[in-house]
Amino acid sequence: MGIYKDCDIRGIYGQELDESTAFKIGRAIGSLVLGRRIVVGGDVRQSTPSLKENLMKGLMNSGVSIVDIGMVPTPVFYFAKNFLKADGGVMVTASHNPAIFNGFKIILGCMPITKEDIEQIQELVETNDFTVGVGEKEEVDVYQAYKVHIKKLLGHEGKLKVVIDAGNGAVSKLAPELFRSFGYDVKELFCQFDGRFPNREPNPAVYKNLVKLQQSVVETEADIGIGFDGDGDRVVFVDLKGQIVTSEESFVIFIREYLKSEPSPVVYDIKSSSIVEKEVCRYRSQPIMERSGHAFIKKAFLEHSAVLAGEVSGHFFFKELGCDDGIYAALKMCEILTKSKKDLVALTEGIEKTIMTPDIRITYPWEKQRDLLVKVESLKYKYPISTLDGIRVQFPYGWALIRQSVTEPCVTIRFEADHEENMLSIKKEFLACVPELYGLHEMLKY
């Protein structure tokens, strides 16, 4: 599939992505924005400084003026783009991917980047068809402005004891500082910058990466544990018993907080548990299902003027921000706990419990994947289906989803049901359409 994805550019540093490619990508982006002013930031990865430097050279050689905001979390980059009234931006990061990866999150104008934009950048890189110009560079520190902005939006202080697991990523300094400024008692875990991510992989949505956070919460008798990804736009929570709070459960808590005053559209990704849709409907609001992927969710979030959006990966979008922000989400969660005088255990107790599998990734040849989806689509004569992203089949007591991977030769399957008996029934009927998958993964056994 290469480094050019649907929502960003990303690959293994030194193999798929290097400084010369970064320079050309800068030239290509500069050729699209045509002499305007854009913000450039970068995360803590060891490869980021050199990739960022070459990207900026490429941008300036195409006539773009640069505002270099240094090493920042991605939410600060989003803030800086608006605060500095820039025409676009590039963040050098591979987000939640392991240390060997790096890449570019790109903003062109006001809306999220599209697949067509990425394809246009790729074409320019491959044809070397760049504009020529001389851009200027300035350096701006936006940390203090970001802190002031967040303080104005929240303002509520609390006394909770929190454990912050930054995973040695980009929020390692900023998150503890902000939480302490709100009065919270902070215990730091892996809050030293280290782009090798030596203590855990930078993806908190893979719950095994949060084992030490869970242990620390219990050992320190903390009220909440907070696990960030590598660039700070994702967050996962741990309750005072050391239990992971799923992203959908966290999202339900936000939904209850935001919809209690007035109805509003809420966007969620196709892989989310049914508890999200049900909760939005309970508040007589409009649930909007969107395909998985940051750019797709954000586009729907903005187009529908939604009050919230969320993904199972741990991205949470807020209307007052206009974007996703893991730091803000964590502070907002702590504000909710403080105001309600309830802990996370109590807040999640009343949320419906379902049985849900994680993503089941099955290696399968590219050329045969479409045949699988066609076979599953035959269930449309019996059940409602969605073709928004792959094939999602709505059974009476749950659903099944099969999607093609855009990055590797595999398909991804996920199931949800109200209890174990119906889970087995859904798996059985689903796999009857694609018996060639049975036995390829332990979780497909029924």
Phi-psi bin for 354: left (phi > 0), alpha (psi -120 to 50), beta? beta
**Active-site residue identified among 10, 45, 294, 403:** 10
Q: How many CB atoms lie within 10 A of CB 291?
A: 17
Q: Which residue has the tokens 């907002």?
A: 332
Under a CB-based contact definition with an 8 Å cutoff, are residues 66 and 93 in contact? Answer: no
**Active-site residue identified among 45, 96, 200, 315:** 315
Helix (H, G, I), strand (E, B) or coil at 368: helix
Tell me which residue of 414, 439, 435 sits closest to 358, measured CA to CA: 414
Calpha distance 393→271 (Å, rounded): 12
* Burial (0-12, 13-18, 19+ Cβ within 10 Å), 15: exposed
Q: How many CB atoms lie within 10 A of CB 377?
A: 16
10 is catalytic: yes
Angstrom distances, CA of residue 225 to CA of 54, 64, 173, 334, 433: 38, 42, 17, 10, 42
Q: Which residues pair with 9 in a beta bridge?
A: 4, 104
**Active-site residue identified among 47, 65, 95, 264:** 95
- Alpha carbon 323 to chain centroid, angstroms: 11
- What is the DSSP pairing of strand 266-269 with strand 308-310? parallel
Angstrom distances, CA of residue 141 to CA of 76, 90, 297: 10, 16, 29
Q: How many CA atoms lie within 13 A of 329 on its CB side?
A: 33
Within 325-427, strands assigned E span 355-356, 360-363, 385-386, 391-395, 398-404, 410-417
Calpha distance 234→270 (Å, rounded): 18
Angstrom distances, CA of residue 148 to CA of 142, 144, 153, 191, 441: 10, 6, 9, 22, 49
Paired tokens of 421: 């008996």
List the catalytic residues: 10, 95, 315
